[in-house]
Amino acid sequence: MDSKVVVITGASSGIGAALARQLGAQGNRLGLGARREELLRKVSAEAGTNSIPVVTDVTRRQDVEHLRDVALREYGQVDVWVNNAGRGSSKIVMDLTDEDIHGIIDVVLKSVIYGMQAIVPHFQQRGEGHIINVSSFMGRVPLMKYRSIYSAAKSGVNVLSANLRMDLRVKYPGIHISAVMPGIVDTDFHRIAQTPIQFKAGERAGATIVETAEEVAAKIVSLIDHPAAELYTGAQMADIARQYFQDVGAFEEHMVCR
């Protein structure tokens, strides 16, 4: 990979932190955003000297724009913007409160809109750039009922990614929009979201294998070199998605992850 300027939200832990460390090790210049300042500064130090930590609440449009402005001021350009910030929820549809709904929509969906709207004008001026929206396989195939509002929000991320890609395709073919869909990843996400079943890397969860944050991050690094519209990080995920949409009712009746 040629050295690039990469901005990553949700960079203080999990996939975002792993991605920052891998990109930093390759000599890329980084703008890292997250709310938890101490953890963010630790990850920034691990990523190397060409890394700037910027405390960012992605639910606030002005914070996201500030992250962009800092990266542009320090580096003069942004080549790749990774909307990675997220949070989980472990409630079925009928148990959702207004607080649950707004909390997930703000962090998972609105933050992606804020990120895209913040950086696309810069990419349009340059005629090139790459937005990577970290979504979830649960947004394509809602295997787990207790991920209800989370899956719905991630589905929205997939749709908005496609909408923006089509908006830009004719006039700005040098701007790439990618949606990355990991499955179950062994991070603090599950503990924070109070997931009823805890998973470890390498274990089988239904038809998929639990991944590490480092494995997912490595695939995102490859995606930066070879842009694609969508990336399933698990080998069998594309086949599972095809099975799901061929007959949703039959798939739900026989699915393993309930």
* Run of H or E residues at 4: none
Partners of residue 231 on adjacent β-strands: 180
Residue pair 224/80 in contact by the 8 Å Cβ criterion: yes
Torsion of CA 59, 60, 66, 67, to 10 degrees: 0
258 pLDDT band, cuts 50/70/90, is: very low
Q: In the predicted model, is pLDDT for residue 228 greater than 60?
A: yes
90 pLDDT band, cuts 50/70/90, is: confident
Q: In the predicted model, is pLDDT for residue 181 greater than 80?
A: yes
Q: In the predicted model, is pLDDT for residue 77 greater than 70?
A: yes
pLDDT at 256: 52
pLDDT at 199: 56
Q: In the predicted model, is pLDDT for residue 68 greater than 50?
A: yes
pLDDT tens sequence across 239-254: 999 999 999 998 888 7
pLDDT above 70 as % of the chain: 90
The domains found in the chain, sorted by start residue, are: 5-254 (3.40.50.720)
Residue pair 107/33 in contact by the 8 Å Cβ criterion: no
pLDDT tens sequence across 182-205: 998 886 644 444 454 555 544 445
pLDDT at 136: 95
89 pLDDT band, cuts 50/70/90, is: confident
**For range 150-172, the mean pLDDT:** 97
The strands making up 129-134's β-sheet, listed across from edge to edge, are 51-55, 29-34, 5-9, 80-83, 129-134, 175-181, 230-232
Residue pair 140/192 in contact by the 8 Å Cβ criterion: no
Distance (Å) of CA 43 to CA 13, 23, 118, 140, 225? 8, 12, 24, 30, 23
Q: In the predicted model, is pLDDT for residue 79 greater than 50?
A: yes
Q: What is the distance between the alpha carbons of residues 239 and 246, in angstroms, rounded to a whole number?
A: 11
pLDDT at 209: 73
**For range 157-172, the mean pLDDT:** 98
DSSP 210: P
Question: What is the token pair recorded at 28?
Answer: 């890329």
Q: How many C-alpha atoms does 233 have within 13 Å on its Cβ side?
A: 29
- Provide the pairing of β-strand 80-83 with 129-134: parallel
User: Which residues contact residue 205 at a Cβ distance below 8 angstroms, ignoring those fewer than 6 apart?
Assistant: 183, 184, 199, 257
**For range 5-17, the mean pLDDT:** 97
Q: Which residue in the block uniquely carries the two structure tokens 């908005």?
A: 160
Name which of 179, 198, 196 is nearest 136 in CA terms: 179
**For range 206-232, the mean pLDDT:** 91
Residue pair 16/214 in contact by the 8 Å Cβ criterion: no
Q: In the predicted model, is pLDDT for residue 8 greater than 50?
A: yes
Name which of 79, 85, 27, 84 is nearest 51 in CA terms: 27
**For range 94-116, the mean pLDDT:** 97
pLDDT at 206: 53
Q: What is the mean pLDDT of the chain?
A: 91
Query: Which residues are known catalytic residues?
Result: 150
